[in-house]
Structure 1
Amino acid sequence: MQDTVAVALITSLSTLAAAALTGLVGALSTRRQLAHQLTVARQESAERWATRRDELRRDAYVGFLSACDAAYRRLDRRWVEPGVDTATPGYDETYAALRAVDEAYNLVLLEGPADVAAAGRSVLASVTTEYAEQRRLADEPGDAAVPLRDRHRERWLAAIEVRTNRRVSFVDVVRQALGRDG
C-alpha cells in the first residue's frame, strides 16, 4: 500500500512539475510574443508619424513655393508694366503677395527642419529686397511711362538671377529634407 501511495505521490508531483514547467514556458513564450508585437506596433506608429510629418512638411513647402510664385508674378509685372501698383503708396497688390509669402514662411518655420527654414528665409529676404528695390527705383526721377526693366536692365537681370538661385537652393534643401535627393 505504501508503494501505491509513493507511486501516486510521485506521479502527482511529476504531473504538477510538468504543468508548472508548461505554464512557465507558455508564459515566457507569450511574453516574448507580446514584446515583439509591442515593438512592431511602435515601429508602425513611428513610421505613420514620419509619413504624416513628411506630408505636413511637403504641404508647407509647396504652399511657400506657391506664394513665392504669386509674388514673383507681381514683381515681374512691376518690372515690365509702367505705373503698376502706384495708386496706393505703401500698400499694393505686390505688397499683399509679399505678405502671403511671409505667412507661408511661418509654416515652413514651424515644420522645419532648420536648414529648410534658413533656405526659406533666404528666399523671403530676396523677394522682400527685390520689392524694396523696385519701390526705390520707381521713386527715382525719370520717365514713368518707361518700364523699370528698361530703365534699370542690369538691376532687373540681377534680381531675376538672385530670385532663381535662392529658389533652386530652397528646393534642393527641401528635397534632402524629404529624402528625395534627385
Structure 2
Amino acid sequence: MSEVWGTLIGAGSAIAGTVVAGGFSLVSGRRELTERHRKDRLDQRRDAYSAFLRACQEADVALRDAWATPQDADGASPVLTVMDEAVRCLWQQQVMVALAGPDRIAAASDRLCKEHAAEAHEVRRILATGGDGLLRPRDRLSREEAAAQAARQDMHQQFLDAARKALGTDREELV
C-alpha cells in the first residue's frame, strides 16, 4: 500500500511541477507579448511623430519662401503651389499622429496644422489684394501676423516636447 501511495505522491508532484512550470511560462509569455506590443506601439508613435515633424519642417520652409516671394503677374506663384502642397501633406501626417495617439499629442498636432493652414491662407489673402509684382507678403506682415508666426513656432516646440514625453525621451532623461 505504501508503494501505491509513494507512486501517487510522486506522480502528483510531477504533475504539480509541470503545472507550476507551465504557469510560469504562461505568465512570462504574456509579459513578453505585452512588452512587444508596447514596443511596437512606441515604434508606431515614433514613426508618426517623426513624419509629422518632417512635414512641419517642409511646411515651415514653404511658408517662409511664400512670405519672401514676390507676387507673379497672375498671382499664381509656383511657390504658393509648393506651400499648399506642404500644408496638405502636413494634414495627412496629422492623421497618422491622431491614430497613434495619445489624445494630447493628436490635439497638439491638430493645433499646429491649423496654424500652418491659417498662415498659408493669410499669405494668399495678402497676395490677392494685388500689388506691383515686386511686393512680397512679408512686406505687409503686421505685428499680429508676426506674433502668429511666433506662436506657431511655440506650438511646434510644444508638440515636440509632448511627443518626447509620450515616447519617454524627455530632454532631462537624456542628459
2:90 paired residue number: 101
Corresponding position: 1:123 with 2:112:
yes
Shift of the alpha carbon at 1:151? 2.3
- For structure 1, the residue ranges without an aligned partner over 5 or more in a row are 1-12
Q: Which residue of 1 aligns with 2:17?
A: 29
Correspondence 1:16 to 2:13: no
Describe the superposition over 1:82-136 as per-residue Cα deviations: whole angstroms up to 9, x where unpaired.
12693269x8221111110011111111111111100100110110111111111
One-letter identity of the residue aligned with 2:67: W
Aligned: 1:56 with 2:35? no
Task: Give, in angstroms, the shift of residue 173 of structure 1.
Answer: 1.1
Deviation at 1:154, TM superposition (A): 2.4
Tell me the matched-pair count: 169
Looking at structure 2, the residues matched to 71 and 59 of structure 1 have their Cα atoms a distance apart, in angstroms, of 18
The structure with more radius of gyration: 1
Aligned partner of 2:159 in structure 1 is 170
The letter of the residue matching 1:179 is: G
**Distance of 1:74 and 1:88 partners within structure 2:** 12
Q: 2:26 aligns with which of 38, 50, 53?
A: 38
* 2:43 match: secondary structure: helix
Q: Deviations over 1:30-59 (max 9, x none)?
A: 111110111011101111111111111110
**Are the counterparts in 2 of residues 71 and 94 from structure 1 also a CA contact under 8 Å?**
yes
The residue aligned with 1:10 is: none
More displaced 10-residue stretch of structure 1: 153-162 or 117-126: 153-162
SS of residue paired to 1:86: coil
- Deviation at 1:156? 4.9
Partner SS for 2:76: coil
Which residue is equivalent to 1:77? 65
- Matching of residue 146 in structure 1 with residue 128 in structure 2: no
Query: Match of 2:101?
Result: 112
Residue of structure 2 in register with 1:8 after alignment: none
Contact conserved, 2:71 with 2:131, CA < 8 A, in 1?
no
What is the CA distance between 1:155 and its match in structure 2? 4.5
* Identity among equivalent pairs (%): 31
Aligned-residue CA RMSD (Å): 2.0
Q: Could you say what secondary structure the match of 2:70 adopts? A: coil
Task: Pick closer, same or farther for the CA change 1:145–1:88 going to 2, 3 Å.
Answer: closer
Point out where structure 2 has 5 or more consecutive residues left out of the alignment: none
